[in-house]
A and B are shown apart, each in its own frame.
Chain A
């Protein structure tokens, strides 16, 4: 199965051989190019193409967005932007708050704002990468766009003048559909409606002010034979149920909402899920091991049916490359290079036991650390339970690859994934935690062989 199909299948809630990996490389792509600021990146079609291709070479994604810029539509509609060296642009004016009438706003076309250069990038990227990986076209959701246009007045107007807010949202919905069409025409496979500001409103308000417009947008995307996703950031736990009724194929969340909760709600409506890797604490500021740990936890909860491994939102410009590489390695079932590099392990000597000569069956469990990594914990618990009453015949050892000795041990055993169970030097269970019954039977067979 190719990488693109993996993403499409996961979005359609089908079983996949592994969770597909979709890094939301926004302005971080600029940091991968020499002497390129975020501002230069967002304004130059060649740099967008170059940056995204560089990210694809490095991070080996199964899918990737063309661009992550929630200010693109706002700029084309007259919002003034302030560009930055190492951040996406900011909206500094809100036309409808500043006296512009809704009737004066026009649905943007490819000739407005930066749409031409973005769509050129989209077309080139889809042509060059689109056969192998799933290309995402990201559009600003109707509520977030309305907030850009109205400023904070929107909150009180939802109470004082809801009809006016609905007129604005209806206009924003038409903008979303027009932008979705541009990305679809450029060749994108998936349209993601990014509406982070909906986390600021209640489920009732979502139902009244977002749901009807979102349904129309997702229906339209479906008529164009494309898959869709709804991205939300912030604590939107309260809104997940109503979000799952938007008729989108997938919902992507950040770390503010427990992944298991979202899966539970979305599964009932056949909506797949993505996201949840911690963007700031892990990806921006965490260590390589924090990133491995977080990715493993997400994959453990998300499983391989209807889950896409991805960050909670767009990756910050300064996200350390080694952290993203670590997640990419975990997603592909490998150990990150920074952990197994020869230079880091120079001088560390570890001898494997002489398994045949040992009186007991030896179970080596290779983990990140069962105290902090959920799948590792489940695997260790299964081993402990399966070994109950066998202490005279079986010994088990946890090798935490936080320790360099354990990394050398793991390499000597030929193990490349964590967690893994090795019985008398033979790799038996890779990443998947067996049932206690099955594991005990395997152990008892090994005990028999010793006799």
Chain B
């Protein structure tokens, strides 16, 4: 299983804060999910979103689980992200 965060290379500070919170969250729950790959993908230009399977909307940062977009532009709470992972495992 992969949990992927997709963010822009040069985001505004609002997006940076959302991304940082998601990255912190990934780091926190990683030990509980040794079988899950947590990936961070940085895209330089909006055209590159075509290369990311499952990405649907041009709002960042986005979180995908197994190529299925879970959210974009929003912060997930630990309990939410864990539930999303657990029901798909």
Contacts and interface: CB of A to CB of B under 8 A. Distances in A.
A234 B21 contact: no
A281 B8 CA distance: 12
Contact of B10 (A86, A156, A194, A234): A86
A291 to B, nearest CB: 16
Contact of B20 (A90, A156, A233, A281): A90
A162 to B, nearest CB: 15
A151 B20 CA distance: 9
Contacts of A313: 12-14
Given A156-B77, A156-B79, A235-B73, A87 B21 contact: no
A317 B10 contact: yes
Interface string B64-77: 00000000011111
Contacts of A274: none
Interface string B34-61: 0000000000011000000000000000
A284 interface: yes
A290 to B, nearest CB: 13
B17 A152 contact: no
A324 B18 CA distance: 26
Interface in A75-131: 86-88, 90-94
A312 interface: yes
B16 A90 contact: yes
Given A87-B11, A281-B46, A284-B10, A152 B21 contact: yes
A256 to B, nearest CB: 8
A331 B38 CA distance: 45
B77 A314 contact: no
Interface string A278-303: 01110011000000000000000000
A280 B60 CA distance: 11
Among B13, B14, B21, B25, residue most surrounded by chain A Cβ atoms (within 10 Å): B13
B30 interface: no
Nearest to A235: B73
A88 B13 contact: yes
Contacts of B78: 152-153
Given A155-B77, A235-B73, A70 B17 contact: yes
A196 interface: yes
B55 to A, nearest CB: 15
A233 B18 CA distance: 11
A195 to B, nearest CB: 10
A144 interface: yes
A148 B20 CA distance: 10
Nearest to A90: B20
B12 A285 contact: no
Contacts of A87: 10-11, 16
Nearest to A81: B20
A151 B75 CA distance: 10
A143 to B, nearest CB: 11
Interface in A150-187: 151-153, 155-156
B45 A200 contact: no
A99 to B, nearest CB: 13
Given A151-B24, A152-B77, A233 B14 contact: yes
Given A196-B14, A233-B12, A285-B46, A91 B20 contact: yes
B21 A151 contact: yes
A155 B78 CA distance: 10
B84 to A, nearest CB: 14
Contacts of B24: 92-94, 151-152
A199 B13 CA distance: 13
Contacts of B79: 156
Contacts of A94: 24
Interface in B1-34: 8-21, 23-25
Nearest to B12: A313
A242 to B, nearest CB: 19
Given A152-B75, A200-B75, A285-B46, A70 B25 contact: no
A113 B17 CA distance: 19
Interface of A: 26, 68-70, 86-88, 90-94, 144, 147-148, 151-153, 155-156, 194, 196-197, 199-200, 233-235, 254, 279-281, 284-285, 312-314, 316-318
Give the top 8 A-B pairs by smallest Cβ distance, nearest first. Answer: A233-B14, A196-B14, A313-B12, A316-B10, A90-B20, A155-B77, A70-B13, A152-B77
23 contacts: A68-B13, A90-B16, A90-B19, A91-B17, A92-B23, A144-B17, A148-B17, A151-B24, A152-B75, A152-B78, A153-B78, A194-B13, A196-B17, A197-B14, A200-B74, A233-B14, A234-B73, A254-B14, A280-B11, A280-B46, A284-B10, A285-B45, A316-B11
